[in-house]
Amino acid sequence: MMNQSLERALKLAVVTGMRSMLGPALVARAANRPEHQSLALAAMGEMIFDKIPGVPGRHHLFSLLIRGMAGAWVANNCMKEDGVEDPWAAPLGAAVAMGVAVAAPRVRESVRWTTGIPDVLLGVAEDYLALRVGCDAVGIPLESLREVASESIEDLRERTHSTADWFEGAQSLVAGSM
């Protein structure tokens, strides 16, 4: 029987195969890591980007490599957080994430073909499934993600404003010296 740490790690690798940044974002949030807001923004952006027609599929080599690395990171970190050292966690996480990245679009395509449900709606359903499984794996209530999203967007807004203020100040300084 699979131990709980490995089961959690593999669930998050599955989530990472569906949405490459969601697994790392959930792991970082659950551990209150400082990068959790940036990863949350990346995960939200990926969910939006996935719905745009013509976006390259996740079965392309570069996308598979990203998902494999993210799956390895997620699985390895889950095991370490549980105090388990397993040399197979990272390679298994990478394999699961890459396998799901190849299989999930085929399932989505089959469902679209047999039911006629638009791909955008199936993408939203896939997002929900990934969020539900991921939140369950890390023990975060799904409802709390709204707060995480709001905090992440507000943090981005503040960083953008401070960068814009710096840029305006730099422009004034350069213009004043001419």
Could you give the CA distance from residue 176 to residue 178 in angstroms, rounded to a whole number?
6
More reliable by pLDDT, 72 or 155: 72
DSSP string covering 58-70: TTSHHHHHHHHHH
Could you give the CA distance from residue 153 to residue 19 in angstroms, rounded to a whole number?
19
Could you give the CA distance from residue 150 to residue 145 in angstroms, rounded to a whole number?
8
Query: Over the stretch 51-75, which tens digit does the pLDDT of each residue have?
Result: 888 887 887 889 899 999 999 999 9
Predicted pLDDT of residue 165: 61
Amino acid at site 71: G
Share of the chain above pLDDT 90, in %: 52
Q: Which helix (H) or strand (E) holds 25?
A: helix 22-30
Polymer length of the chain: 178
Share of the chain above pLDDT 70, in %: 89
Predicted pLDDT of residue 169: 58
pLDDT at 103 over 90: yes
Could you give the CA distance from residue 39 to residue 42 in angstroms, rounded to a whole number?
5
Rounded alpha-carbon distances, angstroms, from residue 156 to 40, 98, 163:
11, 30, 10
pLDDT at 18 over 80: yes
pLDDT at 174 over 50: yes
